């Protein structure tokens, strides 16, 4: 039933790709059968994550320019940040990347987060796998690195780039446990700021223990994304990491993360935080007990 769509998207038909993504994004009937037909494609997925405002979108934009200059085909997924209190997605990324929407070698899709478990789109892994079938040289996924989404991005990407900025000294300390662990490459963006070199030194010191146990070197690349500076160095670091990403042990770990996440999503699909909140509000009184309420949902 889905064979034709798959053949078209594999042939590079972008409309077919967009249709296939919508099929999966909206979990239309039969989408799982479509997923089961996907070939085992080996496109390297580059995850770009980091705090809001670090310059991730600007960096992705600069990276697209560097890659297309080398005639590479690039697919990009942007997961727009949205606050749990306000589910509207920001349109900034869309507007900024306008010039790429008509480029024949570039495909960009923005996904709104829908208050999923870790803040990423609930079907992000599946949609990335659809993108993998479409014959891109590189797939870039931009996500905001907050909370649980770090684990998701690690399961999603073969190479995880963590973007930080020079002034974020304290933030880097507190993010250490999450973002630091998943970084295959660090980008210190906004290197036009005066403290950039000192920050890079501090980051190296801070990462020294991790560098010793890591099986591969974790590159630190300085960029000024808004001036497209440092993108070639970043590209070199990405290529250098590709052979590491393809090692089987790591690959299987990533696939296990993906499988775990998809199973988790499936088991949680009937649980809606808004419904939980409504039930809590309706039942809240002096005798309220959260665990008794939870039982109603299990």
Q: Which helix (H) or strand (E) holds 210?
A: helix 196-213
Block residue for tokens 């010793």: 212
Indicate the residue among 104 and 194 with the shorter CB distance to ligand GDP: 194
Structure tokens at 64: 């697209």
Minimum distance, C-beta of residue 50 to ligand GDP, in the bound complex (Å)? 6
Classify residue 143 by burial, with Cβ atoms within 10 Å: 0-12, 13-18, 19+.
buried
Is 52 a residue that touches ligand GDP (CB under 6 A)?
Answer: yes
Is 245 a residue that touches ligand GDP (CB under 6 A)?
Answer: no
Minimum distance, C-beta of residue 191 to ligand GDP, in the bound complex (Å)? 7
Minimum distance, C-beta of residue 153 to ligand GDP, in the bound complex (Å)? 14
Structure tokens at 250: 């790591």
Is 261 a residue that touches ligand GDP (CB under 6 A)?
Answer: no
Number of residues binding to ligand GDP, judged by CB under 6 A = 14
Indicate the residue among 127 and 196 with the shorter CB distance to ligand GDP: 196
For residue 296, CA distances in Å to 12, 180, 289, 290 come to: 48, 38, 12, 10
List 23, 54, 134, 156, residue binding ligand GDP (CB under 6 A): 54
Indicate the residue among 207 and 223 with the shorter CB distance to Mg ion: 223
Is 56 a residue that touches ligand GDP (CB under 6 A)?
Answer: yes
Indicate the residue among 57 and 116 with the shorter CB distance to Mg ion: 57
Number of residues binding to Mg ion, judged by CB under 5 A = 3
Evaluate the CA torsion angle 54, 57, 61, 67 in order and state its sign: positive
Residues in 84-143 that interact with Mg ion by CB under 5 A: 93
Q: How far apart are CA 29 and CA 216, in angstroms?
A: 43
List 43, 44, 49, 57, residue binding Mg ion (CB under 5 A): 57
List 6, 224, 237, 238, residue binding ligand GDP (CB under 6 A): 224
Return the residue nearest Mg ion (CB atom).
Answer: 57
DSSP string, 93-155: HHHHGGGGTT-TTEEEEEEE--S-TTSS-TTHHHHHHHHHTTT-SEEEEE----TTHHHHHHH
- Interhelix angle 248-267/124-132, rounded to 10 degrees, is 130
DSSP string, 225-282: GGGTBSHHHHHHHHHHHHHHHTSHHHHHHHHHHHHHHHHHHHHTTT--HHHHHHHHHH
Is 166 a residue that touches ligand GDP (CB under 6 A)?
Answer: no
Minimum distance, C-beta of residue 11 to Mg ion, in the bound complex (Å)? 31
Q: Is 11 helix (H, G, I), strand (E, B) or coil?
A: coil
List 116, 128, 143, 189, residue binding ligand GDP (CB under 6 A): 189
Residues in 19-38 that interact with ligand GDP by CB under 6 A: none
Which residues contact Mg ion (rule: CB under 5 A)?
A: 56-57, 93
Which residues contact ligand GDP (rule: CB under 6 A)?
A: 52-58, 92, 189-190, 192, 224-226
């Amino acid at each position: 039933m889905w064979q034709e769509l798959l053949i078209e998207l594999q042939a590079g038909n972008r409309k077919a790709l967009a249709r296939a993504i919508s099929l999966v994004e909206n979990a239309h009937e039969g989408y799982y059968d479509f997923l089961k037909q996907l070939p085992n494609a080996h496109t390297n997925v580059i995850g770009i994550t980091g705090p809001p405002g670090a310059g991730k979108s600007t960096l992705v934009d600069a990276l697209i320019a560097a890659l297309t200059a080398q005639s590479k085909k690039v697919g990009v997924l942007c997961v727009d940040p949205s606050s749990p209190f306000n589910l509207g997605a920001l349109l900034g990324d869309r507007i900024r990347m306008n010039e790429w929407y008509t480029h024949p070698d570039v495909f960009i899709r923005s996904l709104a987060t829908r208050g999923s478990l870790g803040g990423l789109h609930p079907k992000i892994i599946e949609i990335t796998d659809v993108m993998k079938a479409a014959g891109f040289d590189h797939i870039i996924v931009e996500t905001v690195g907050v909370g649980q989404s770090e684990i998701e991005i690690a399961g999603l990407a073969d190479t995880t780039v963590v973007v930080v900025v020079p002034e974020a000294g304290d933030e880097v300390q507190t993010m250490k446990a999450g973002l630091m662990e998943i970084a295959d490459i660090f980008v210190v963006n906004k290197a036009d700021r005066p403290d950039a070199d000192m920050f890079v030194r501090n980051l190296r010191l801070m990462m020294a223990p991790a560098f010793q146990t890591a099986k591969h070197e974790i590159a630190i690349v300085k960029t000024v994304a808004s001036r497209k500076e440092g993108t070639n160095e970043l590209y070199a670091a990405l290529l250098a990491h590709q052979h590491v990403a393809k090692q089987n042990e790591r690959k299987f770990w990533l696939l296990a993360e993906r499988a775990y996440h998809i199973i988790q999503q499936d088991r949680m699909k009937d649980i809606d935080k808004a419904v939980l909140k409504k039930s809590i509000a309706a039942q809240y009184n002096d005798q309220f007990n959260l665990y008794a309420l939870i039982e109603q949902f299990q």
